[in-house]
Structure 1
């Protein structure tokens, strides 16, 4: 039973990732070639956010990863000094 639930969750995540990829691809690659007067433009935010969003997410991810590495290193050094 758990396997089918895991499978459903996996397919849901794959479907969500595919939808996000399709939306972003249309927004960044196809939309610049569509006339500005077309109604499709109302479904997408300004193109500036296509770069700013992933850039901010990447910086936040790097800060979190760096903080985790720093914390782990600090804890490791602290543990070694207690044992000696």
Structure 2
């Protein structure tokens, strides 16, 4: 199973490195390239460089908040009540 974990880790590292390089080139390099250059065919409009990470961040924060809320509600119901004798 260790080999599978290492392969998955390598795959995730390659994916995230590729995504980072693509985004960096899109945001930093393409503004300095002429608009009629063929490189612009491989990238969406620059407005999406802000919209996509913003929506992804909002979705991540929402997921974390919902997860914490669900855990808090479940832990409240799981507490044993004190006996009164």
Give TM class, smaller chain: 0.7 to 0.9
Number of residues of Structure 1 aligned to a counterpart in Structure 2: 82
**What is the 5 A alignment of 1:34-73?**
34-73=33-72
Please list every run of at least 4 consecutive aligned residues from structure 1 whose deviation after the TM superposition is greater than 3 angstroms.
Answer: none
SS of the residue 1:46 aligns to: coil
Greater percentage in helix: 1
How far off its partner does 1:47 sit? 0.7
The range that moved more, 39-48 or 69-78, is: 69-78
How far off its partner does 1:16 sit? 1.0
Which residue does 1:8 correspond to in 2? 7
User: Can you give the 5+ residue segments of structure 1 that lack an aligned partner in the other structure?
Assistant: none
Instruction: Calculate the TM-score normalised by the size of structure 1.
Output: 0.87
How far off its partner does 1:74 sit? 1.2
Q: Is 1:83 aligned to residue 81 of structure 2?
A: yes
Based on CA coordinates, which of the two structures has the bigger radius of gyration?
Answer: 2
Instruction: Calculate the TM-score normalised by the size of structure 2.
Output: 0.86
SS of the residue 2:49 aligns to: helix
User: Can you give the 5+ residue segments of structure 2 that lack an aligned partner in the other structure?
Assistant: none
